[in-house]
């Protein structure tokens, strides 16, 4: 049978305050097309359907429209959805009885009170024959899998949580009770991966936030993972995979592929897979350079035609000092090419040399050489910080901006 693995849609996420409804629709349409062309039997959505626990009405309608279309138009026999850490488990679970009529199985929560069978889902091919048994494990919060003990520290709590997740999965795996190939779908931070982004990080103490992938994978024919935004195999096994995020959630994710995974599982449990790239709806780019080079780079951007969506740009200015007028200049140049600048960042270089670094270390070791600073004087502290970091502020721009911040804060404190 053929299975399509996708995850981390984050519907409703605003990208630097920009809505992305059209971007989402464009990506979801490609998934529907792949399901139809590849004659997909089962679609797996491995969590983080929405970006927040309380998504907007239109975001929810987009999700339900997709489910209806992928079953009724693309001919998918079944859809299995699990909740991720961004989702409300109750929202994913809520309409589950109604969704099952449309051959959609949703698992939002899996608590200690839930029967093990809640996470066991038989998967049928288009002819209605059961081919695979699926273990669908949503994101498990601490209270879902154990009762905390009084006086636990963070280290003990994290360790106990992971062990409880492993035990809960083991209980489900032991209850499968059939000779069919087993597929595992989970929304977890699996050990042995490459995070590749700053948006999904484990809550961990010394690595205890990671779930050992071998503990939940076992002899599964395929492991469909959600949570990390970079598509990748885990633990050196090509059939243990993250499918990645539907759209980039930040400019730092532009270098990551957007894809879904099509998996072919034989009756004997042999697995083949193909990665299908998704085409982006709009152009997005990052530029980072010195001012003159940035001016040339922006002027060299491809012109966006009237029938294309607006392109988005992030600019990082590498300069020895702030240049307030450059922001407006680069924005105007980009707009003349059809690009919208969503973020302009200033990167002030540190003037440390290796000798200064050694000198500073020696100075830090000898507290008697440290200058006396009046810590009650914000201006003195800020000036000292600039000196220590070797930032150049010849025109006093940073000090002037700092003074403005102080005045605003003083005003707010007086009102309070």
Select the more confidently predicted residue: 409 or 48: 48
152 has a pLDDT exceeding 90? no
Segment 130-136 shows an average pLDDT of 95
Segment 138-166 shows an average pLDDT of 84
31 and 96 co-located in one domain: yes
Segment 98-114 shows an average pLDDT of 94
User: How far apart, in Å, are the Cα atoms of 222 and each of 67, 159, 211, 251?
Assistant: 23, 27, 17, 31
122 and 224 co-located in one domain: yes
Last residue of a domain, one of 255, 277, 299: 277
Contact at 8 Å (CB) between 278 and 28?
no
165 and 103 co-located in one domain: yes
Contact at 8 Å (CB) between 189 and 237?
no
User: How far apart, in Å, are the Cα atoms of 341 and each of 21, 225, 300, 337?
Assistant: 19, 34, 15, 11
Q: Give this prediction's pTM.
A: 0.80
Select the more confidently predicted residue: 134 or 386: 134
208 and 102 co-located in one domain: yes
Q: What is the reported pLDDT for 205? A: 36
Q: What is the reported pLDDT for 403? A: 80
Give the integer Cα–Cα distance in Å for 19 and 151: 44
Q: What is the reported pLDDT for 267? A: 87
User: How far apart, in Å, are the Cα atoms of 383 and each of 2, 93, 367, 379, 403?
Assistant: 64, 55, 19, 6, 11
Select the more confidently predicted residue: 190 or 37: 37
Last residue of a domain, one of 347, 371, 393: 347
Highest mean predicted confidence (pLDDT) among 20-29, 229-238, 250-259: 20-29
343 and 385 co-located in one domain: no
Q: Percent of the chain, pLDDT > 90?
A: 62
Residue 372 structural domain = 354-415
365 and 315 co-located in one domain: no
340 and 270 co-located in one domain: no
215 has a pLDDT exceeding 80? yes
Q: pLDDT band at 133, cuts 50/70/90?
A: very high
354 has a pLDDT exceeding 50? no
Q: pLDDT band at 218, cuts 50/70/90?
A: confident
Segment 190-209 shows an average pLDDT of 51
Q: pLDDT band at 209, cuts 50/70/90?
A: low
Give the integer Cα–Cα distance in Å for 290 and 375: 36
Q: pLDDT band at 201, cuts 50/70/90?
A: very low
195 and 324 co-located in one domain: no
Number of domains in the chain: 3
Last residue of a domain, one of 236, 260, 277: 277
Segment 101-121 shows an average pLDDT of 94
266 and 183 co-located in one domain: yes
Q: What is the reported pLDDT for 319? A: 86
Q: What is the reported pLDDT for 203? A: 41
353 has a pLDDT exceeding 50? no
CATH number at residue 66: 3.60.21.10
208 and 336 co-located in one domain: no
Closest by Cα among 246, 239, 247, 249 to 201: 249
Segment 5-34 shows an average pLDDT of 97
Segment 137-149 shows an average pLDDT of 88
SS3 of residue 23 by DSSP: helix
79 and 195 co-located in one domain: yes
Q: What is the reported pLDDT for 374? A: 66
Instruction: Tell me which of 192-206, 294-308, 374-388 is least confident.
Output: 192-206
292 and 385 co-located in one domain: no
């Amino acid at each position: 049978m053929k299975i399509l693995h996708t995850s981390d849609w984050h519907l409703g996420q605003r990208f630097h305050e920009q809505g992305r409804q059209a971007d989402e629709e464009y990506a979801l349409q490609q998934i529907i097309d792949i399901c139809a062309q590849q004659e997909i039997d089962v679609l797996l959505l491995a969590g983080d359907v929405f970006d927040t626990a309380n998504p907007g009405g239109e975001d929810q309608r987009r999700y339900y429209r997709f489910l209806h279309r992928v079953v009724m138009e693309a001919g998918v026999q079944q859809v299995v959805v699990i909740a991720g850490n961004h989702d409300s488990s109750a929202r994913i679970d809520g309409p589950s009885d109604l969704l099952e009529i449309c051959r959609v199985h949703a698992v939002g929560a899996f608590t200690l009170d839930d029967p093990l069978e809640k996470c066991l889902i038989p998967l049928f091919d288009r002819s209605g024959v059961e081919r695979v048994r699926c273990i669908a494990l949503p994101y498990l919060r601490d209270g879902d899998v154990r009762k905390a003990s009084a006086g636990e520290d963070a280290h003990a709590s994290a360790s106990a949580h992971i062990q409880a997740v492993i035990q809960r999965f083991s209980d489900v795996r032991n209850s499968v009770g059939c000779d069919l190939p087993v597929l595992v779908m989970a929304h977890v931070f699996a050990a042995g991966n490459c995070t590749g982004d700053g948006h999904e990080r484990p809550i961990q103490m010394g690595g205890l936030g990671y779930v050992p992938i071998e503990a939940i994978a076992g002899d599964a024919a395929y492991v469909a993972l959600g949570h990390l935004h970079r598509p990748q195999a885990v633990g050196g096994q090509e059939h243990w995979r993250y499918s990645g995020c539907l759209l980039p959630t930040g400019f730092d994710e532009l270098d990551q592929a957007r894809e879904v995974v099509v998996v072919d599982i034989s009756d004997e449990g042999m697995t083949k897979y193909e990665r299908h790239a998704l085409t982006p709806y709009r152009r997005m780019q990052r530029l980072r350079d010195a001012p003159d080079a940035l001016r040339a780079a922006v002027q060299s951007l491809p012109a966006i035609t009237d029938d294309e969506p607006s392109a988005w740009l992030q600019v990082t200015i590498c300069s020895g000092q702030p240049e307030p007028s450059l922001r407006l200049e680069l924005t105007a140049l980009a707009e003349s090419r059809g690009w919208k600048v969503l973020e302009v960042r200033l990167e002030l270089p540190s003037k440390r040399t290796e000798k200064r670094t050694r000198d500073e270390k020696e100075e830090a070791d000898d507290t008697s050489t440290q200058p006396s600073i009046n810590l009650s004087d914000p201006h003195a502290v800020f000036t000292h910080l600039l000196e220590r970091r070797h930032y150049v502020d010849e025109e006093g721009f940073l000090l002037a901006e700092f003074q403005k911040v102080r005045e605003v804060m003083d005003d707010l404190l007086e009102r309070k």
